[in-house]
Each structure stands twice: as structure tokens, then as C-alpha cells.
Structure 1
Amino acid sequence: MLLARSPSSDVVHVVHITNDQSRSIMEEAGPTPSKETLELEKTVLYLRGWKLWLLTAGLWIGLFLSSLESTIVSTSLVSITNALNGFILRDWIVTAYLLSYTSFLTIYAKFGDIFGRKTMLLLALTLFTVFSTLCGVSSNIVELITFRAFQGIGASGIYSMIMAITPSIVPPTNYGKYMAIVSTVFIVASVLGPVMGGVINSRSSWRWIFLLNIPGGMVSFILVAVYLPMSEASLKLSPRQRLRRKFERSTLARIDIVGIFLLLASSVLLIFALEEGGTRYFWNSAAIVSSLVIAIVLVIVFVIWETFLSESTMVQEPVFPPSIAKDRLPATTLATSFFTSFAFIAMVVNIPQKMQAVSDFSPVEAGLASLPLLLTAPLATALSGFLVENLAVPPFYLITIASALQLVGVGLTCSFPADAIAVPTAQYGYEIIIGIGFGLGLTNLYIFARAVVPETNLAVMIGALTQLRVLGGTISLAVCATILNNHTAPRVEQVVSPQQAQAISNSLLAINDLTPAQQIAVRSAFAEGYHKQNIFMAVLTGIGLITSCFLWEKTPRKAV
């Protein structure tokens, strides 16, 4: 690989050639390269200098805001639901965001191939900023949940498009280091999210959790619009011609409408059934049973349809080409991403809730209690980039070690007394183990995917990896909420009146109005429910360790 820079340009020319070709070029290249030399060169243009850093700042801000929404809201759920009288629907504030976020990741990746990644990123930033504003002015819990779903659609596009755009911004030799820079987003969001959520709820209105996205979203939009280059084909067209081309019949014909519908419908029905089963509806009710059955049927139909579409001569392009999952390594990478995400997202949301429901922590204290988990995960992500890039450690080893650390950390949390109200000091150490495990595995799954999937399918593969990772976390969150509600509801009703039980379901602050004996009984019931959640997450994390072992090769490949 040769790197060359024009003195008057901020673009690096990266030329991929073999050693033999290199010698030939060095011998033949003069003031005017030969025809043979030009045919040997495969040149890709990359930004550099201040333009690269301004674009990076725009991408960083957008990714930061979308990442912050998970951690800052998770520590603010109790305060938000206290204000809007909807504690029983608290998890839908997170689930609605994660559900739409999950459902659109692969769709955005495919739309980026059809309509252009810059166009889709700008659209995602617009949606995220607009619906953040609407979340901030919501007047009831249903409005907030609805706007959070649309906010998640925007956030999904931000993440998906940035992950797809990043490989085209810097040369492959600098990809690991650049990803380490991008990973600082998660470090800052993890640290600031819980603290900001607690401070905002203690010092101001919860509405600022969403309204703060407005200026940042606008800055990110401007930087991306100005500094993210368009494709060479688009540069030759006028703005009107570019807009017209995006909506030509031939372009729209490439959209897999059936596949998109099946993917969205199955995701929504599955999460609805898992979230509402045992809470608003009985598990054997028609609403839950029919939702689960239809979701499973739609998944099967989706697989059949995508297979048919990929093998047919139709113009439509499948949302997810089934050929990606036919080989062992890509399929196992997807499965590992799915199962290893179960514990992390649920713990990010549940730890602050547990601290407030069980140990009577304030929002600020609850946010600080989850910092060991939230801080070590992105730090481990940055470390993994260094190990793969600088020390040439094969990603397989790091993924397997990461899965094992997660299982150890989650398993150790199950060793606490089930009804313990006080927070054991060891919990913070276990959070660190879980965070390191998740952080080591996250980036390496993407790096490994780049090594085993053709470049033409890389964007969709990355979108699918992220979609399965978030889907696993969303399912885990829904199941954990069901476990908690099913365990605590009957036990709380045994020690308090129906009116008091309803008050607790609306707001955890109602626990403080009970007698000391009732408070201990209620908090113990919540503690037992969270303990059962940890057992469930340990089992799924163990499956993730098993799937990661199937990534083994006789000679483990290194990053490309």
C-alpha cells in the first residue's frame, strides 16, 4: 500500500498494489505514469487535515447525542414517570426507543446503498433533533413513548450510517485507531449520562434531557452537510438532478418493501408480547399469544422472502441478503452479537432503578452507582482497538475472553442474598468485570465481521450486527421487566392496600409513605425480583460464550 498526498489537497490517495507491482511501478513511473501503471492502481480518496477533523467532530456529536439518550434516560425513568404518573409504563420509555432503533438499523444500511449514505445520515439527524424537541414538550406518558419511538428511528440512522461511512473516511491501516477515537463517544456518554440525568432531575426539569439535543443536533447536521464528501457520480450532477435521481422509478424499484414490512412487523410484535406479557395482559391471553405466533410466522416468511428475492432476477434488493449468514463465521458472529448483548443493556437500565427502588438512592446516587459498568465498557472498547491494531491480536481471542468475562461478572451478581436491601460493595467490582467484557467484544465483532464478509455486504452486515445486539438487549429488557413485575406485584399486594399498591406502580416515591415495616417488605420484594433478573441474564450470557467459541479457526485471522 502506498500513501500519497497532493500538496494543494486535503485528500490522501491510497493505492493498493502488490510487491511485484510496486517494483514495476517504481521502475516505470516517471513524470507521466505509464498506462500499465495506471491500470494497476486502485485508488481510493480519503479526507485528511482540518476537513477530516471537522467532519469527525460532526459525526462524534451526532453519535454522542444518540448514545447519551440511553444512559441519561435510564437514570431519569423514575423522575419522568413520577411527573407523568406512569411508573408501570416506565420501561416503554426505553423500550420504544430501543425498539425503533433496533428495527431500522439494517433498513438504514440498505437505504444508504440505494439513496446515498450522506442523504440518509442527514435525514436521521433531522428526525432525531425534531422528535427530541417533541419529547421535551410531551404532556403525558403516551405522548412521550410515541415521540421516543420516532426519536429512536433517527438515532438508528445516525449509528448505522456512521458505522457504514467510517471505513470510507480513513484508510484500512488507520481504521482501528479511528474507531478508538470514535469510541471515546461512548466513554463520555457513559460518564456524563448518569450524572447529567441525576443533576437535571435534581436541579431542573426532566424535559431538558431531550431539549439539550436541539443545539447539538443542528451543529452535527451542518458539519456533516458541509464536510462529508458526496460520491463522484453525485458531484457531476446539479442539486436538482441529484434529488430527481434519488426518486427515479428505477431507484425506488430497488426497495424491498415486503422485506421491510416483515422485519418491522415481526420486531414490534415480538417486543410487544415480551413487554406486556404478565403485566397488562396474561401470558395466555389472546393478545400475547397471537402476537408471539404472528411474530414467529413473520420471521419465517421474512427468511423465505429474502431467500427468494436474492435468487430471483427481480430489481428489488433484499434488506438482508441471506448469503451473509450461510457461512459459519458470519452466522456465528451475528449470534454472538445477539446473546452477549442481553446482560449489558438490561443492566444499564436496571441498576439505577434497583438502587432507587431497593436501596432508596437519589437519582444522582443511582447514576453514580452504575458508573463502574458504564465507564469501563468504552475504555475496554478503546483498548481492544489498540490490541488488534498495534499488537496484532486476532479478534477471536478477544471476543471469547470478553464473553467469558461477561458470564463471570453477571454470574457473580447472582451470589448476593436475594432479598438484600443494602448495596454490597462487591457489586461495583462485578460491574467492572461486566463492562470490560462487553467493551472488549463490541468493537472486535465489527472488526471480525470486516475480515469475514465481502466489502459489498459489509454495510448490511454491520447494520445487522448492531440490530441483533440492540434487539438482544431490548428483548432482555422486556423479559426482565416481566420477571420483576410478575414477582413484585403479588408480594406487594400482600403487605399494602390496593390503593397503596397502585400508588407504588405509578411512582416509587410512594414507598416512602409506607410504614417502616412495609417499606422493608416492599423493597425486599423488589430486591428478589432484580435477583431473578440476574439469573436470567447469566443464562443468556452463557449461551453467548458458547457461540463465540464457534468463531474458532485453526489459524485465527487478524484484522484487515
Structure 2
Amino acid sequence: MKPLSEALRRRRVTKRPLVLAAVILAMFMGAIEATIVSTAMPAIVADLGGFSLYSWVFSAYLLMNAATVLIYGKLADIFGRKPIMVIGVSIFLIGSLLCGLAGSMEQLIVYRFIQGVGAGAVMPVATTIVGDIYTKEERAKVQGYLSSVWGISAVTGPALGGLFVEFISWRFVFWINLPLGLLTIIVLILFLHEEVEKKKPEIDYAGTIVFLLSISSFMFLLVEGGLSFPWLSIQSGLLFGAAAIAFAVFVWIEKRTASPMMPFDLWRVRPILIANIVSFTTGIMLIGISSFLPTYVQGVMGESATVAGFTLTAMSIGWPIASTVSGNLLLTIGYRNTTVLGGAALIIGGLLFALMEPESGPWWAAVSSFFLGVGMGLTSTAFIVSIQNTVEWKQRGAATAANMFMRNLGNTVGAALLGGVLNSRLNAFLQNQSDDEQTLSIDSVNELLGGNSEAYSDSAFRVLKEGLDYSLHSVYVVVLIFALFSFFFLLLLKKGE
């Protein structure tokens, strides 16, 4: 019996190279979602209509992603990484399939909710798996590889998105996830083996529900405020009050529950606190660029979907280079100096975007994206390595998920906030035009992005382009402001941390 049991034990040893490949594939699938969908959005709007709902396509996905990421992190600590990862990827694939079948913008938004529920597991659990199977000495290098996945995916994401839009259908930007996800599930089931201590699951349902109410109210206020109702109105006051009260109740619950969704005690460690705050601010920046840059390049600069996609690709060139370098810099110049360099790159990228004009051309947009990618690569790798080296196994899933949560929360708030800025500024611009152009509305941009030259006169299209330029410029100014916030918080780190 001993030889048999020994053989079985050997067979159940985790095969690290294959598991790492599956984790990279899962992260690639999650990362590509940001750029490939953004590139296809002008075509989706042209087909389904509803430009006023543009930001909801991102907000719906990001809301459920942010709401579930902490739950998945906690469940991964209770039941193990593999079953939670498999469940999350499966839900993500169901949502992806449905998104490709959407017949209206409203349907697409609903299906994006489903997709977001599954996506909440992908990044935090994948990153946690790597933290489990590699030693502290190996993590800096391996996490650099993982961070570079964002860059590599951004190379292929815009390219595939542009090619699908121009030669096949925008629906394939969602369906491409199906083979990737299925392969990930198969490899994890076969080759990831873990010893999980059996314990009674304690899930913070109350905290989850209250948090979802808070962020949903706040997000709806950001997207629709100044458009569907005035900022200074009863509706705005009620939404803000609901969001504030629900968040206060959330904090109260988290401090008293035995198994909190958000382990606030981890935030007492200065590097973790600052990493989480900056992950939030950079999350806002990231969604602001990845969501709206293709619209600017296509709608304002008049370039094709493929060219618009490749302006985002430049971010991917900076991201993997910086991620790889970040792993080495952590060992030579330290955590603080590495992240401060990343913060400086974020400011350069944000400033270039704020100064961008229609005549600047796609190369200007690409260079701006490059610097933003450098900043993201330097900071994100440093944050994950620092957090995972600070906590032990039983907290690693929750700690990693908390950092991912803050970035996802930044994405969610950013999609809503910047979408609200775009809609309100564009609406104000169109209302101030001459009487001949009073028939134009936000949804008139549908025709501009769809290239329907017969829908309006040349002067009307000129007004729409000017309005889109004006409103998106405001978005980029907000991105720059958050880059400055990020840099300020990084300066608060002490040497040696």
C-alpha cells in the first residue's frame, strides 16, 4: 500500500509551470476585457444605439466586480483557491456568451452585470495562487511577469478589437473569452493541488449587501447627476445621503463582524494603507483612459477602430517593461523609490493627455498611454509584492483581494464619475449651440461614431466633434488631478518601508 499511496501523493503535487500558465491565461482574459471592449464600444454604440448609456456598460461590469472581489478573496481563504477560481471563471464565461448575444444596450448592460460577478474572482484569486506556490524570494520576479500580462493583453486587446470590429463583428470581443476560460478551468482542475484546512465558512453577507447599496447609489449619482436631474436637487441629496449612510453602516458592520469582508486591521500598516489608496486613484485613471481614449481617437481625430486600439497598445509597451524593471528595482532602490518613480510617470502621462488636441494625432495619444503604462507597471507590481510579503497565508487571499478591490472600486467610481463628466459637459455644450443645432443631443454621437454622414449636416457633425473634444478634455483633466493625488500619497511612504 505504501508504494501506491506514495505514487498518489506524487501525482497530487502542484505542477507550478502549468499552474502559472493557467493563472497567466486567466489574468490575460481579465486584462484583455478592459482594452478589447473599449476599442469596440464605438461600433457597439453605432449598432445598438444609446450613447447616453455608454458608461453604464463599464459601470455595470465594474460594480459587480468590485462588490464580489472581497467575497471571493474570503472564500478562497476558506475553501481553497481552485474551486473559487473555477466558479468565478465559469460565471464570467456565461456572462461573456450572453454579452455577445445582446440585442440592445439595455440587454448588454444586464449581461455585463453577470460577467462582472464572475470577473471578481479572476484577478485576486489568480494573484493569490502565485503567492501560495512561490517563495518570498521568487514572488518579486513572478509578480513582475503577472503585471506584464496587463501590458501584453493590451497589445493584443486593441488589435483584436479593431480587427473584429472592422472585419467580423464586435460580438467576438466577448466570445473570445470562451476558449481562454475553458482552457484555464481544465488546467487548474488537473494540475493545482492544495491542502485546505476545513473550517466553518463565515461570510459577511450583511457587509456585502450594504456595500453594494452604498456604491450603487453613489455610482448612479455620478453618472446621472447633472443630466437626468440637477446636482443641487432632492434626487441628488437623497442618493448622496443613501450612499453615505450605507457606507457608514458598512464600516460599522466590518468592525464588529468576526469575518469581515474588508479586513480594516490590515490598513493599519502604512505601506498597505497607501498601496490601497493609490490603487483606488490609479484605478480611476486607468478606466478613464481605457474607456474613453478610443472614442476620442475615432470620434474626434477621425481615425479607424484599429488605430484607436493601437493608441491603447502603447500602454502595454510601457506596462510590461516597467513591471519587469519594478521587480529588480524593489531589490535595489527599495519599495518607496520604486513607487515614487511610478507616480512621476503617471503625472507625465496625465499631463500629456490633458494637453492633447485633435490635431495632436494618434501618436500623441500613444505616447501618453505609454507613460501611464509605465506608472501602472511600477506601482502595481510593488504593491502586490509588498502586501503578500507582509501577511501570512490565512490572510493573503483577503489582503490581496483588498488591494484588487480598491483598484476595482477606483475603476467603478471612475467609470461613473468620468462618464458623468463626459455626459454633463457634452450636454451643456450642445445646449449652448445655435438654434440650427438644437436638435442635437448626447445620443447624436451614435451617428458620429457610426460614420453615418447622411444623418446630419456637415456643420452638425462639426459641432458634435467639438462637443466630444470639449467634454473628453474635461475627462483628461480629472485624470491628471488623480495622478497628482497618487504622487502625493506615494511621497508619504517612509524610507525602508
The TM-score with structure 1 as length reference comes to: 0.81
Distance 1:512 1:398, change over 3 A: farther
- Asked whether the equivalents of residues 217 and 243 of structure 2 are also in contact (C-alpha less than 8 Å), the reply is yes
Equivalent residue number for residue 103 of structure 2: 139
Mean Cα deviation higher: 401-410 or 175-184: 175-184
Equivalent residue number for residue 18 of structure 1: none
Equivalent residue number for residue 340 of structure 1: 282
Give the match's secondary structure for 1:370.
Answer: helix
Equivalent residue number for residue 251 of structure 1: 200
Which of 182, 185, 200 is matched with 1:218 structurally?
A: 182
- Asked whether the equivalents of residues 421 and 523 of structure 1 are also in contact (C-alpha less than 8 Å), the reply is no
CA shift digits 1:364-419 (9 cap, x unpaired): 1211222222331233112212333xx433121111111122112212332345xx
Deviation at 1:421, TM superposition (A): 4.9
Equivalent residue number for residue 472 of structure 1: 410
Partner Cα distance (1:550, 1:302) in 2: 27
Deviation at 1:108, TM superposition (A): 1.0
CA shift digits 1:337-363 (9 cap, x unpaired): 222332222111111111112112221
Partner Cα distance (2:363, 2:20) in 1: 39
Partner Cα distance (2:365, 2:149) in 1: 25
In the TM superposition, what are the counterparts of 1:360-379 in structure 2 within 5 Å?
Answer: 360-379=302-321
Partner Cα distance (2:443, 2:50) in 1: 10
Equivalent residue number for residue 352 of structure 2: 412
Equivalent residue number for residue 428 of structure 1: 366
Partner Cα distance (1:233, 1:487) in 2: 54
Equivalent residue number for residue 155 of structure 1: 119
What stretches of structure 1 move > 6 A for 4+ residues in a row?
7-11
CA shift digits 1:63-82 (9 cap, x unpaired): 21121111100011111121
Give the match's secondary structure for 1:412.
Answer: helix
State yes or no: 1:387 paired with 2:329.
Answer: yes
Equivalent residue number for residue 222 of structure 2: 274
Partner Cα distance (1:489, 1:232) in 2: 55
The sequence identity of aligned pairs, in percent, is: 24
Distance 1:232 1:121, change over 3 A: closer
Q: Which runs of 5+ in 2 are unaligned?
A: 1-5
Deviation at 1:146, TM superposition (A): 0.8
Give the match's secondary structure for 1:423.
Answer: helix
Partner Cα distance (1:149, 1:71) in 2: 18
Give the match's secondary structure for 2:441.
Answer: helix
Partner Cα distance (1:87, 1:320) in 2: 35
More relative contact order in 1 or in 2 (CA 8 Å, sep 6+)?
2
Mean Cα deviation higher: 338-347 or 139-148: 338-347
Which of 447, 453, 456 is matched with 1:512 structurally?
A: 453
Partner Cα distance (2:268, 2:17) in 1: 39
State yes or no: 1:532 paired with 2:481.
Answer: no
- Asked whether the equivalents of residues 353 and 476 of structure 2 are also in contact (C-alpha less than 8 Å), the reply is yes
CA shift digits 1:13-34 (9 cap, x unpaired): xxxxxxxxxxxxxxxxxxxxxx
Mean Cα deviation higher: 178-187 or 141-150: 178-187
Deviation at 1:422, TM superposition (A): 5.0
Higher share in helix: 2
Partner Cα distance (1:231, 1:473) in 2: 34
- Asked whether the equivalents of residues 356 and 362 of structure 1 are also in contact (C-alpha less than 8 Å), the reply is yes
State yes or no: 1:302 paired with 2:242.
Answer: no
Which of 400, 408, 424 is matched with 1:462 structurally?
A: 400
Distance 1:186 1:10, change over 3 A: farther
Partner Cα distance (2:352, 2:148) in 1: 28
State yes or no: 1:482 paired with 2:420.
Answer: yes
Partner Cα distance (2:463, 2:108) in 1: 32
Partner Cα distance (1:488, 1:301) in 2: 36
CA shift digits 1:152-197 (9 cap, x unpaired): 1211101111112111112222112222332342232100111111
Partner Cα distance (2:460, 2:439) in 1: 14
Equivalent residue number for residue 398 of structure 1: 338
RMSD after superposition? 2.5
Deviation at 1:285, TM superposition (A): 4.1
Equivalent residue number for residue 246 of structure 1: none
The alignment of Structure 1 onto Structure 2 pairs a total of residues equal to 488
Answer with 1 or 2: which has the greater Rg: 1
Distance 1:454 1:217, change over 3 A: closer
Distance 1:288 1:251, change over 3 A: farther
Partner Cα distance (2:145, 2:355) in 1: 37
Q: Which runs of 5+ in 1 are unaligned?
A: 1-6, 12-44, 235-249, 310-315
Partner Cα distance (1:232, 1:146) in 2: 35
Letter in 2 for 1:346: G
Equivalent residue number for residue 264 of structure 1: 212
In the TM superposition, what are the counterparts of 1:150-229 in structure 2 within 5 Å?
Answer: 150-229=114-193
CA shift digits 1:266-286 (9 cap, x unpaired): 222222221222233332344
Partner Cα distance (2:196, 2:273) in 1: 34
Letter in 1 for 2:144: A
Equivalent residue number for residue 3 of structure 2: none
- Asked whether the equivalents of residues 423 and 442 of structure 2 are also in contact (C-alpha less than 8 Å), the reply is no
- Asked whether the equivalents of residues 180 and 382 of structure 1 are also in contact (C-alpha less than 8 Å), the reply is yes
Partner Cα distance (1:400, 1:365) in 2: 32
Give the match's secondary structure for 1:414.
Answer: helix
Partner Cα distance (1:217, 1:451) in 2: 29
State yes or no: 1:52 paired with 2:19.
Answer: no
Partner Cα distance (1:524, 1:227) in 2: 55
- Asked whether the equivalents of residues 340 and 403 of structure 1 are also in contact (C-alpha less than 8 Å), the reply is no
Equivalent residue number for residue 26 of structure 1: none
- Asked whether the equivalents of residues 91 and 115 of structure 2 are also in contact (C-alpha less than 8 Å), the reply is yes
Which of 319, 323, 326 is matched with 2:265 structurally?
A: 323
Partner Cα distance (2:246, 2:121) in 1: 24
CA shift digits 1:183-238 (9 cap, x unpaired): 3422321001111111101111111111222222111111111111031657xxxx
Partner Cα distance (2:417, 2:429) in 1: 19
Which of 77, 80, 86 is matched with 1:113 structurally?
A: 77
The TM-score with structure 2 as length reference comes to: 0.91
- Asked whether the equivalents of residues 269 and 292 of structure 1 are also in contact (C-alpha less than 8 Å), the reply is yes
Deviation at 1:463, TM superposition (A): 0.9
Mean Cα deviation higher: 525-534 or 283-292: 283-292
